[in-house]
A and B are shown apart, each in its own frame.
Chain A
Amino acid sequence: MNRSLVILLGALALCAALLGGSYAVSRHVCQRCMSKSVSDLDWLQQEFHLSDAELARIQKLHEGYLPKCAEMCAEIAAKKSELETALNGTTNVSPVAQQKLAELAALRAQCQAQMLQHFTEVSQTMPPEQGRRYLAEMQRLTLGLHEQTESSMSGSAGHEHHQH
């Protein structure tokens, strides 16, 4: 093989190794350093440029909300267990199972309403512009997934649902 070609290919390989190596190392170090001492609310402070006072108010709301959320989650988990028991071994949806489904949906709706209420309270402790952005972002992140799923299912061929 031509000597010049070997030199050029070697130089290219070295360049790629240098670029890739420095990229991987710095990415790993940066990610580790930034994830080292983060609490649940660090993202809020970074993303919405909150002051320490605003963050302290949100922290208080957050700590008040978490036990309620955990309680609702436990209720939902218990209701799901009841539903599974009602569905177990049956080939059709029994009235009991329908009842459990309705109760589960009601619990989920209640939990979602409580969650949205919390988002609203948090947004009100932020500066108005940031609060609006926070609320929109949280609604998109927590409720948007259902819309995506529904739209993807209604658009798929051979599996169309009619709008109710």
Chain B
Amino acid sequence: MNKENINPDPGSAEAGDVKLGALLRTSRVSPELPPRFQEGVWRRIEEADAPVKSTGSIAWLDALAALVLRPRLALATAAVLMVAGALLGVRTGSQVAHQDAQARYLAAVAPNSLR
């Protein structure tokens, strides 16, 4: 039985693929790039790489909040405030006690009916 050769010649098939490829390339429509396209791409890449910057007062608040949250600074501030409060309290307390003592002496030697 005479078999029909269904496979074409390999050499002619390769030649056909090349032709087809060339044909497809010529038929593909390649749109023109907008002006300064490459520059725009690089700019967007640089912007993506750069850290996010906040604006104005928000940046200031963020920086201050970050500073406040530092444990060492927070502890030091708390210690300073407590010492300052204690010193002020001692000062005021001694003044009040001094005034009380003065009032006690005056009440003893100069009753209200004479003042």
Q: Is there a chain B Cβ closer than 8 Å to A76's Cβ?
A: yes
Q: Which of B10-18, B25-33, B37-45, B94-102 contacts A (4 or more CB under 8 A)?
A: B94-102
Task: Decide if B106 touches A141 in the complex (CB within 8 Å).
Answer: yes
Q: What is the total number of residues of chain B having a CB less than 8 Å from a CB of chain A?
A: 39
Task: Decide if A43 touches B104 in the complex (CB within 8 Å).
Answer: yes
Task: Decide if A142 touches B110 in the complex (CB within 8 Å).
Answer: yes
Q: Which of A7-15, A81-89, A92-100 contacts B (4 or more CB under 8 A)?
A: A7-15
Residues of chain B contacted by A29 (CB below 8 angstroms): 89, 93
Over the window 3-37 of chain A, the binary record of Cβ atoms lying under 8 Å from chain B Cβ atoms (1 yes, 0 no) is 11101100100110011111111111111001100
Query: A137 — nearest CB in chain B belongs to which residue?
Result: B102
Task: Decide if A18 touches B85 in the complex (CB within 8 Å).
Answer: yes
Query: Knowing A15-B77, A19-B84, A145-B115 touch, does A4 contact B93 (C-beta < 8 A)?
Result: no
Task: Kindly identify which residue among B82, B87, B108, B110 contacts A141, using a CB–CB cutoff of 8 Å.
Answer: B110
Q: What is the total number of residues of chain A having a CB less than 8 Å from a CB of chain B?
A: 51
Interchain CA distance A19-B105 in the complex, whole Å: 33
Task: Decide if A26 touches B113 in the complex (CB within 8 Å).
Answer: no
Residues of chain B contacted by A145 (CB below 8 angstroms): 115
Over the window 63-102 of chain B, the binary record of Cβ atoms lying under 8 Å from chain A Cβ atoms (1 yes, 0 no) is 0110011000010011001111111111011101110111
Interchain CA distance A20-B89 in the complex, whole Å: 9
Given A28-B93, A31-B96, 17 other A-B residues pairs in contact with their CB atoms under 8 A: A4-B61, A4-B64, A5-B61, A8-B61, A8-B68, A19-B81, A24-B89, A26-B85, A26-B87, A27-B92, A31-B100, A40-B104, A62-B108, A73-B111, A77-B113, A108-B113, A142-B106
Q: Could you list which residues of chain A lie within 8 angstroms of chain B, going by C-beta atoms?
A: 2-5, 7-8, 11, 14-15, 18-31, 34-35, 38, 40-44, 46-47, 62, 65-66, 69, 73, 76-77, 108, 111-112, 115, 118-119, 138, 141-142, 145-146
Query: 4 closest A-B pairs (Cβ-Cβ)?
Result: A30-B93, A26-B89, A22-B85, A34-B97
